[in-house]
Amino acid sequence: MSVSSATEVVDPVPGAGAPHLPRQPDLVQLLTPEGERVEHPQYSLDLDADELRDLYRDLALVRRWDVEATALQRQGELGIWASLLGQEAAQVGAGRALQPGDMAFPTYREHGVAWTRGVDPLHVISLFRGVDNGGWDPVATAFNLYTVVIGAQTLHATGYAMGLQRDGAEGAVLAFLGDGATSQGEVNEAMIWAASFSAPVVFFCQNNQYAISVPLERQSRVPLYQRAAGFGFPGVRVDGNDVLAVLAVTRAALAAAREGQGPTFVEAFTYRMGAHTTSDDPTRYRLASELEEWKLRDPIARVKAYLSRSGTADQDFFDAVEAEADELAARIRRGTTEMPDPPGTAMFDQVFAEQTPHLAAQQAAFEAYQATFEEASE
C-alpha cells in the first residue's frame, strides 16, 4: 500500500465552511513501504552499496539513541525528551543532503539531523538533563542550537541565508519546522522575507500529522506544501518515511538555493509514532488503529527489506549494526548518569559575551543567597 493512496478526508471542525479537504496529492517516493525501489520522473538518486548501508546504519543508530533517551527520561534521568520515533528517515535524509558549507537550524526534535552533522548524542542529552543549553559548537558542526520557541528558528535561518548572500558564500540553509509551526506568525514572516530576497533557504517541514494534540486538518484547508505558492516559491511533498526520496528532494532543493533560485518548501509527510514529548499522552487524541496503520510504513523496515532483497546487505551486516546500537545505548546511558550537575552560578556565564554590572550584581546576590544554606547546615 502506498502512502500516496490516501482518500478524501472529512473535516471534523464544527461549523467549517468547506465540508471536505482536498484529496491528498501523490508523494515523491523512491522506496515503497514494502521495500521496492521505484523511480520518479523529477527526482533520481544513484547511491552505491556502501552509501545505502550507511543510510540504514544512520536510521538504526538514531532510533536506538531515541529509545534509550526515552527510557532514561522515564527513569528520572532526563527532565523531558522529544522523541523522533517514526521520523528517522525525514531527518537522516535531510541531514545527509547537507554539504559542509551549509547550515541547519533545528527545532528541538532533530536528533537525527544532529547525528548526521557529527554532534555527540550526549551533547544533546545534556540539554534535556538541564545541564546546559546544548553542548555542541554550532559553528564547528554547522548545526545551530535547538530552538524551543515554536517557529523562531525559521527567522534565524532566513537571516543567516541573507547573510550568506551578502558574503558571497555558496552555502545554503536548511530550516526545520513542524506542521504546527506553519500556524505561527514567525514562520510566515520568514517565508515572506525569504521570498522577497530570494534567500538560499529551504524550509523543511516534518508533517507528523499532529501539532501536539491538534490534527493537521484543523490547521490547514490545503496541503501544507501548496502554501509555498502563496509566498512565490515552489513547494513539494515527499514521503517522509522514505529516506531515499527525502535525500533526493532535499538535495535538489538545496542545490537550487545555492544556484540562486531562492527558497523551497519541502513537506515531509510522516508520522509521530510516539508522544509529542514524554509529558504527553497521545492516546487521548488519536486511535490505536491509526498508529498500527503507520507502523506498516516504518522507515527502517523498508530500507532493511530493500537491502536484503537486493543482496546489498546480509545478516552479518544487520547483526553488526545492532551490536553497534547496543554499544551506543550503553555509552549514552553511562554518560548521562555520570554527567555532573553545573554550579548554580553557571546560568550567569552565557547571558552576554561580557558580564554587565547589573548581571554581576545579580550573581553576587545569588551567591550570597546560596551561602545562607551552607551557613544553616553548619
pLDDT in tens, 272-301: 988 899 988 888 888 888 888 888 999 999
Which residue ranges make up each domain of the chain?
A: 2-337, 344-377
pLDDT at 157: 98
- Considering the four listed CATH numbers 3.90.79.10, 3.40.30.10, 3.40.50.970, 3.30.1330.90, the one that applies to the domain covering 2-337 is 3.40.50.970
In Å, how far from its chain's centre is CA 171?
20
With a pLDDT cut of 70, the percent of the chain lying above it is 93
Judge whether 276 counts as a catalytic residue: yes
- Residues 81-110 have a mean pLDDT of 97
Q: Report, in this order, helix, strand and coil percent for the chain, each rounded to 5.
A: 50, 10, 40
pLDDT at position 87 over 70: yes
Please answer whether residues 270 and 91 qualify as being in contact, where contact means their C-beta atoms are separated by less than 8 angstroms: no
pLDDT tier for residue 217 given thresholds of 50, 70 and 90: confident
pLDDT at position 72 over 60: yes
- Residues 25-50 have a mean pLDDT of 93
Judge whether 37 counts as a catalytic residue: no
pLDDT in tens, 186-216: 999 999 999 999 999 999 999 999 988 888 8
| Among 20, 37, 285, 334, the one annotated catalytic | 285
| Among 117, 272, 297, 302, the one annotated catalytic | 272
pLDDT at position 20 over 60: no
Number of neighbours of residue 324 by Cβ within 10 angstroms: 14
pLDDT in tens, 242-253: 999 999 999 999
Judge whether 369 counts as a catalytic residue: no
pLDDT at 264: 98
| Among 276, 297, 302, 306, the one annotated catalytic | 276
pLDDT at 378: 64
pLDDT at position 14 over 70: no
pLDDT tier for residue 26 given thresholds of 50, 70 and 90: confident
Global pTM?
A: 0.89
Number of neighbours of residue 130 by Cβ within 10 angstroms: 13
Q: Tell me the C-alpha distance between 101 and 123, whole Å.
A: 22
CA distances (Å), origin 351, targets 131, 315, 340: 15, 51, 21
pLDDT in tens, 292-342: 888 899 999 999 999 999 999 999 999 999 999 999 999 999 999 999 999
